[in-house]
Structure 1
């Protein structure tokens, strides 16, 4: 067994932020189940939301985040996000991070759904996530140990304290590492659904690991479906960033008719949950949905990643229409943490999408996810530096779990169950059936890592995440944000109607008061 000061599980922007803050002072191991660049962060086309324009204000960003989150957010977390996020973005600019600029040399700010101001910073057009990951990897690569292609099976907890992890390599060899601090940063669980924007690695591993270790998980029912996934021959082929609508694209049906203006005052830039349900209902009623990009000049130059994806899938952009459908995108709930990433298990932390600080509420505001990783990754690092525990502690006697191995359904079957019964719109009967089916395969104890293959553990993790989503959705008898119950529709648009009649100056004064 090898001991480290800190073990970080995952390699997205939240994990990299922690590592960059600690790498000069601590002995760190970062573990990722495939390549270090294989993450949702690396795929992120959208940018980073930050109120840096002289006419914008952090108060407006704060209020927009609460509105999109349907006021289920933890206000202290949102305040930290918008204020400390602004400081971090300023630091990145000082470091020379290549945010896109306009012809005058100013940072080029874009717009996205539910934002009341153009405040989205991009890099490389629609390659912000990739640029950000590359930036942070340069900071840490020679200062920490990075183990690629190593799968974390479970966290070992002794006397209420996280002391180590159990991993498997591609050849199914078992390894055990100990650490004074263990940080889970494995991202979400979009691969539990048939249609998703998520990287193939996003099978809910960190969520399931935390669940088996005894962590509290909350708000799992709040699942965000991105409205615009590229839809080709009945399958999703990738994400069409919300920034496309922010630059003037609109949603139309097969007749060329726009429909969002009839559904929400913000039209095509309504919050994601509203737009996703509108598109879902169009398909349910037998229609097709497209993004009309005819108003965007130089589309391929503005969105090179999307243009390349369309070309590879034989979508003719000269026709100015991109076929789209909603897909699982982001989990607002997750492992319950405080504002420095601590879970209910001593020295076990969570950060990024799999953590739930309460910052996103019931529905994440567009382009707040990379910002969340930066802000709360830095906060965890600062806390750990203040609590430095560098001495190696005894792991004690270790025995493999001897629970009998059971068969687990295939990934395709799991995805069909979640998509059909725990999707964009939900009912009591469908959720109850899904909970009953999933519960049979959930593992409530650390796994026998010797008996199960990596692929089987991934399936167990998908089922565990799916079960927690379905159970939460069954218990929440209301519709709010990413959780929509047909039998408890509930939501009204008065919040937005009240907000948009105010000027920005009036809103700033109201929030500050």
Structure 2
């Protein structure tokens, strides 16, 4: 069976950042699709860094905490925003280029909940794609890249991770052993029917970590992006917040700019506020549009968005883009410390799959790519300070069966998405959450999360199991948190102004669910 120093699950910016800084070790990157299919590739926005002379890391720090409703881990946020400028400078020295003016200065955009223009872009509205491509080119020659092979489960014995099981498209099962394993598989967008996420983002890393006994936290905090292109009742693609940063405004079919009376920052309020504003308009029966008529050269500034709109028959000359909210980002995930360590020895997590607390209850716009770069490097540097020992097989791990089990007593993917969208959505109530939790519980009686051997199932079936696991954790966590905060909005509880995040954080473990710390 293959052995390596480090296994990295995923191929987004966090994964590639860690792989780059670990390139002098034996690194195996495993991704269940093409390396280029990740949320990072779809990121239209940019990277938030306080580099303008009137800006400071303290301003960026404060904006991150305000957007996160003070549920953030303050020390980790401080590291994120302080490291940002030097991180970008280092990548520029390696050859990465960002959009600049004629004098060679960064073009700094503004997005929701930022007090300053501090968003740098590459390729207009294709920052994630540009940065991911650059990292891949800088990394590919020094790592082993395995594509179209899904990591199905972790190999864990007595609280120690030895590697992973995988399954390829032909159903062949393999085992990879490693001294260290990093989960960088992204969030769980597929849990909801309307999402900006890539279709491969099915919560695999979080679900397998949960089955292995890893602590999972803050899963109730779901960020719904306010502006997804809305066509015939479907959300089909993201309309970057940078569009509103350039002056676009949200209106209904009556040409009413409804956000101006909801928040002092209007259309550039935090994402949770804007999403609820749009949702309220839709509940009234109104249609919502993004008025872009004031943005000159829209197609040049936003080529990706323009091409997408044209693909769906939107006439940009009319100046109106139909929008609606959709699941965008998970603030919770696998609980880690500031160095990516989980409660399982030799298992680490970074990026959206991890929860370091930097995003609190609601992520500040354009902090996610920054997190991937900064914490990918931080985790890699931490690993380089540790001893790398070849994993010792203390037990004789049985070969995973190649028999395919029938998918009995499991709901379909569409059924899970319908429950999550209707009962665990932008606004929540106790009655709705109780219904959702009981619905998941009715299936769970026949299906134990921890005893099931997922390797008996096909890749498509494993994805359903993982989506189900994430949905159940989100719904159960949302029912437990009896307050409104950021991406978790309870109609039956007021918003909290409690700034002591440590008293409010809930840890979810296999053995002891919903224990406050």
SS of structure 1 residue aligned to 2:342: coil
- Whether 1:419 aligns to 2:416 is no
The offset of 1:444, in angstroms, is 2.1
Corresponding residue of 1:102: 101
Measured after TM superposition, the shift of residue 164 of structure 1 is 1.5
Aligned residue runs from structure 1 range 49-448, under 5 A: 49-394=48-393, 396-399=395-398, 406-439=408-441, 440-441=443-444, 443-445=448-450, 447-448=452-453
Partner of 2:512 in structure 1?
none
Query: 2: CA distance between counterparts of 1:393 and 1:98?
Result: 44
Given that residues 401 and 447 in structure 1 are in contact (C-alpha distance below 8 angstroms), is that contact kept between their aligned partners in structure 2?
Answer: no
1:488 aligns with 2:482: no
**Equivalents in 2 of 1:369, 1:110: separation in Å?**
16
- Partner secondary structure for residue 456 of structure 2: coil
The verdict on how the C-alpha distance between 1:431 and 1:92 changes in structure 2, with shifts beyond 3 A counting, is: same
Match of 1:4 in 2: 4
Candidates 465, 476, 482, aligned match of 1:471: 476
1:450 CA drift (Å): 4.2
Report the Cα distance in structure 1 between the residues aligned to 2:78 and 2:414, rounded to whole angstroms.
40
- Secondary structure at the aligned position of 2:86 is classed as helix
**Contact 1:178 1:395 survives alignment (8 Å):** no
Closer/same/farther in 2, CA of residues 104 and 175 from structure 1, 3 Å limit: same
How big is each residue's C-alpha offset from its partner over 1:202-229, in whole Å with a ceiling of 9 and x where there is no partner?
A: 1111110110000000110000000000
How many Å apart are 1:104 and its aligned residue? Answer: 2.3
Contact preservation (8 Å) 1:161, 1:345: yes
In 1, the alpha carbon distance for the partners of 2:498 and 2:215 equals 32
How far apart, in 2, do the equivalents of 1:57 and 1:348 lie?
A: 34
Q: State the distance in 2 between where 1:30 and 1:174 align.
A: 17
CA distance in 2, matches of 1:30, 1:102: 37
Q: CA deviation at 1:436?
A: 1.5
Q: Is the 8 A contact 2:152 2:455 kept in 1?
A: no
Would you say how many aligned residue pairs link Structure 1 and Structure 2?
Answer: 493
Matched, 1:461 2:466: yes
**CA–CA separation in structure 1 for the residues paired with 2:353 and 2:497:** 29
Please state whether the residue corresponding to 1:467 is helix, strand or coil. Answer: helix
> Does the CA-based 8 Å contact 2:250-2:291 persist in structure 1?
yes
Q: Displacement, 1:140?
A: 1.2
Query: 1:445 Cα shift?
Result: 1.7
SS at match of 1:103: coil
User: In 1, Cα distance between the equivalents of 2:163 and 2:244?
Assistant: 45
Give the SS at the match of 1:118. Answer: coil
**Contact 1:153/1:447 (CA < 8 Å) preserved in 2?**
no
Q: Which deviations, in whole Å up to 9, do the C-alpha atoms of 1:363-422 show, x marking residues without a partner?
A: 000000000011111111001100031434226311267998643211111110100000
The answer to which of 166-175 and 449-458 deviates more is 449-458
Secondary structure in 1 matching 2:467: helix
**1:22 equivalent in structure 2:** 22
1:122: Cα distance to partner? 0.2
Distance in 1 separating the partners of 2:405 and 2:232? 42
8 Å CA contact 1:189–1:203 kept in 2: the answer is yes
Gaps of 5+ in 1: 495-513
3-state SS, counterpart of residue 291 of structure 1:
strand
Distance 1:450 1:368, change over 3 A: closer
- Measured in 2, the distance between the counterparts of 1:120 and 1:358 equals 21
Instruction: Provide the residue aligned with 1:507 in structure 2.
Output: none
- Please state whether the residue corresponding to 1:30 is helix, strand or coil: strand
CA deviations on 1:270-298 (whole Å, 9 max, x unpaired) are 00000000001110110000000011100
The aligned counterpart of 1:505 is: none
Report the TM-score when normalising by structure 2.
0.93
Aligned to 2:503: none
| CA distance, structure 2, for counterparts of residue 284 and residue 103 of structure 1 | 46
In 2, distance between residues paired with 1:262 and 1:381? Answer: 46
SS at match of 2:50: coil
Q: 1-side partners of 2:409 and 2:334: how far apart?
A: 27
Taking the aligned partners of 2:173 and 2:223, their CA distance within structure 1 comes to 35
Q: Is the 8 A contact 1:213 1:446 kept in 2?
A: no
Alpha-carbon distance, 1:493 to partner: 13
Aligned residues of 1:10 and 1:185 also touching (Cα < 8 A): yes
Q: Distance in 2 between matches of 1:177 and 1:273?
A: 41
